[in-house]
């Protein structure tokens, strides 16, 4: 057994040294630092289509795609032109623009359960604001989330299950007050019984259940048959709001998101990533009566200096206007080919691998166990993933630098990219097996 090839990246390494002297931890978001896979992070110089080029001039087929927003690939020409034209008209006004109305209209047309929408600047802001609205609407403080689901880094969501019989959450980060975490209750993904128990135990105290309708932040985990509909029924029974965090699945699972795909109605929806086409945008929206609680029509305060930014709105509009059925068919085909190719390569090499794939998302988990929740995701061998990652990177493929992330396909990925990726995976897995 030989160690996987490991490339050197002298310019990225130098940049990371400089970065560590000026940026906290050398990066602006932790996963970028490659801590989960080892080695120095690549600094990216430019990108086009499905390819990124690092500071050392090496090219990679990209499966990070900015963690999801780039469903049409990097720097599509039409988007670049649209952005240039928008910038020439002014980059920010702090006043309403037609672009916000038009994009809001597009969102509503694609997700009809969003009767009113508010644009913000990130998925974090969307989830934080949706929690505030849910609490205001119900007069209750507690929220339920699922272990392994991510809703951004606002305090109420940086919470894991408490120990013992208590279902009250405990902080996953210092700096989150214990009192805040105690208002977050943690249930098990794909386990309606766990939700029922939490709602029973905290009857009359829960404002909302937050869920990623397709989990993407413990690696990709699709909802089990009936799970989302079951959540809807439980929430109706307990008069609890159901909030779909579609920051990843929105406009990716289908043009209408997971709610369109599965036909389950959330009361509120959080959006991000694709909705900004690679610029910083988030949004939350839903039932009109709930959204009218938000200032200025209602008392729930939420604001943003750059919210509805015209460049971001223009990018979102360009992106949403190109979500054709053909695009989703093509993405699903490529994803199925990639998933099957990875699974076959692992089988041939005798490496245990479970590939979870849905739509244009997949995660290869290095485990024998079926992955359907956080606990089973945690059976994955993260050291094996790290070796797989390094082997692919050395062969010109850039997968997410963590086992517990989704791989993202885009319109720019080709059959040839997929074939090259499978070949690189086959070589790497043979070395590992
Ligand atoms: C990325 C993500 C967020 C946070 O979005 P940011 O724009 O990074 O703040 C929230 N929820 C889900 C499901 C996400 O994947």
Residue 164's pLDDT is 57
**CA 365, CA 161: separation in Å to the nearest integer?**
23
φ and ψ at residue 216, rounded to 5 degrees: -130, 0
Give yes or no: residues 225 and 95 share one domain: yes
CA of 220 to the centre of ligand 1 (A): 14
In a domain, residue 198? The reply is yes
Q: How confident is the model at residue 166 (pLDDT cuts 50, 70, 90)?
A: low
Q: Which residue matches tokens 């009936």?
A: 226
Instruction: List, for residues 58-74, the tens digit of each pLDDT value.
Output: 999 999 999 999 999 99
Residue at which a domain ends, from 320, 349, 383 = 320
Which pair of structure tokens corresponds to residue 52?
């990124």
Give yes or no: residues 191 and 306 share one domain: yes
Percent of the chain with pLDDT over 70: 97
Instruction: List, for residues 335-393, the tens digit of each pLDDT value.
Output: 999 999 999 999 999 999 999 999 999 999 999 999 999 999 999 999 999 999 999 99
Residue 345's pLDDT is 98
Closest ligand 1 atom to the C-alpha of 125? 9
Residue 178's pLDDT is 93
Give yes or no: residues 314 and 329 share one domain: no
Query: Between residues 316 and 165, which one has the greater pLDDT?
Result: 316
Number of domains composing the chain = 2
Give yes or no: residues 361 and 388 share one domain: yes
Give yes or no: residues 314 and 211 share one domain: yes
Mean pLDDT, rounded, for 152-168? 82
In a domain, residue 55? The reply is yes
CA of 152 to the centre of ligand 1 (A): 5
Residue 163's pLDDT is 67
**CA 196, CA 203: separation in Å to the nearest integer?**
10
Query: Residue 202 above 60 pLDDT?
Result: yes
Averaged pLDDT of the chain: 96
In a domain, residue 168? The reply is yes
Q: Whose CA is nearest to atom 6 of ligand 1?
A: 123
Query: Residue 238 above 60 pLDDT?
Result: yes
What residues make up the domain containing 269? 77-320
Positions marked active-site:
150, 245, 273
Give yes or no: residues 202 and 338 share one domain: no
**CA 219, CA 378: separation in Å to the nearest integer?**
10
Query: Residue 6 above 70 pLDDT?
Result: no
Percent of the chain with pLDDT over 90: 96
Residue at which a domain ends, from 285, 301, 320 = 320
Mean pLDDT, rounded, for 25-37? 96
Residue 167's pLDDT is 64
Domain containing 116 — which CATH number?
Answer: 3.40.640.10
Q: How many CA atoms lie within 13 A of 301 on its CB side?
A: 0
216 lines ligand 1 (CB under 6 A): yes
Nearest Cα neighbor of 118 from 264, 262, 297 is 297
**CA 346, CA 340: separation in Å to the nearest integer?**
10
In a domain, residue 3? The reply is no
DSSP 75-116: S-HHHHHHHHHHHHT-S--SS--HHHHHHHHHHHHHSTT--E
Q: How confident is the model at residue 5 (pLDDT cuts 50, 70, 90)?
A: low
Give yes or no: residues 311 and 419 share one domain: no
Is 156 in contact with 128 (CB distance < 8 Å)?
A: yes
Residue 229's pLDDT is 98
Give yes or no: residues 132 and 162 share one domain: yes
Is 286 in contact with 208 (CB distance < 8 Å)?
A: no
Give yes or no: residues 274 and 307 share one domain: yes
Give yes or no: residues 411 and 289 share one domain: no
Among 2-16, 32-46, 191-205, 288-302, whose mean pLDDT is lowest?
A: 2-16
Give yes or no: residues 115 and 226 share one domain: yes
Under DSSP, the state recorded for 267 is S
100 lines ligand 1 (CB under 6 A): no
In a domain, residue 72? The reply is no
Query: Residue 7 above 70 pLDDT?
Result: no
In a domain, residue 263? The reply is yes
Closest ligand 1 atom to the C-alpha of 127? 10
CA of 270 to the centre of ligand 1 (A): 9
CA of 354 to the centre of ligand 1 (A): 25
Give yes or no: residues 158 and 182 share one domain: yes
């Amino acid at each position: 057994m030989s160690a996987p090839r490991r490339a050197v990246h002298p310019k990225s390494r130098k940049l990371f040294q400089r970065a560590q002297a000026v940026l906290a931890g050398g990066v602006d978001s932790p996963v970028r630092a490659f801590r989960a896979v080892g080695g120095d992070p690549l600094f990216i110089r430019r990108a086009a289509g499905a390819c990124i080029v690092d500071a050392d001039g090496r090219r990679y087929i990209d499966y990070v795609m900015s963690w999801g927003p780039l469903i049409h690939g990097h720097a599509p020409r039409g988007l670049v032109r649209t952005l240039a034209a928008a910038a020439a008209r002014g980059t920010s006004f702090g006043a309403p623009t037609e672009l916000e109305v038009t994009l809001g209209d597009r969102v509503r047309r694609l997700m009809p359960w969003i009767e009113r929408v508010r644009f913000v600047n990130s998925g974090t802001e969307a989830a934080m604001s949706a929690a505030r609205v849910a609490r205001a609407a119900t007069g209750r403080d507690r929220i339920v989330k699922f272990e392994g689901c991510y809703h951004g880094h606002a305090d109420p969501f940086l919470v894991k299950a408490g120990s013992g019989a208590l279902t009250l959450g405990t902080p996953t980060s210092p700096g989150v007050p214990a009192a805040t975490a105690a208002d977050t209750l943690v249930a098990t993904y794909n386990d309606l019984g766990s939700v029922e128990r939490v709602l029973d135990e905290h009857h009359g105290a829960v404002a909302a259940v937050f869920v990623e309708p397709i989990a993407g932040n413990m690696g990709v985990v699709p909802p089990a048959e009936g799970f989302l509909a079951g959540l809807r029924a439980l929430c109706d029974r307990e008069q609890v709001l159901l909030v779909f965090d579609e920051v990843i699945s929105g406009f990716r699972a289908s043009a209408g998101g997971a709610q369109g795909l599965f036909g389950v109605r959330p009361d509120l929806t959080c959006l991000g990533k694709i909705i900004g086409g690679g610029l910083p945008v988030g949004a939350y929206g839903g039932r009109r009566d709930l959204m009218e609680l938000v200032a200025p029509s209602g008392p729930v305060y939420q604001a943003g200096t750059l919210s509805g930014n015209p460049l971001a709105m223009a990018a979102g509009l360009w992106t949403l206007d190109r979500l054709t059925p053909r695009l989703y068919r093509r993405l699903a085909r490529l994803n199925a080919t990639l998933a099957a190719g990875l699974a076959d390569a692992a089988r041939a090499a005798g490496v245990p691998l479970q590939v979870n794939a849905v739509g244009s998302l997949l995660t290869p988990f290095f485990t024998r166990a079926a992955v359907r929740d956080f606990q089973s995701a945690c059976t994955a061998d993260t050291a094996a993933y790290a070796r797989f990652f390094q082997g692919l990177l050395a062969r010109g493929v850039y997968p997410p630098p963590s086992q517990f992330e989704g791989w993202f396909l885009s319109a720019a990925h080709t059959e040839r990219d997929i074939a090259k990726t499978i070949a690189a995976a086959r070589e790497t897995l043979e070395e590992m097996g």
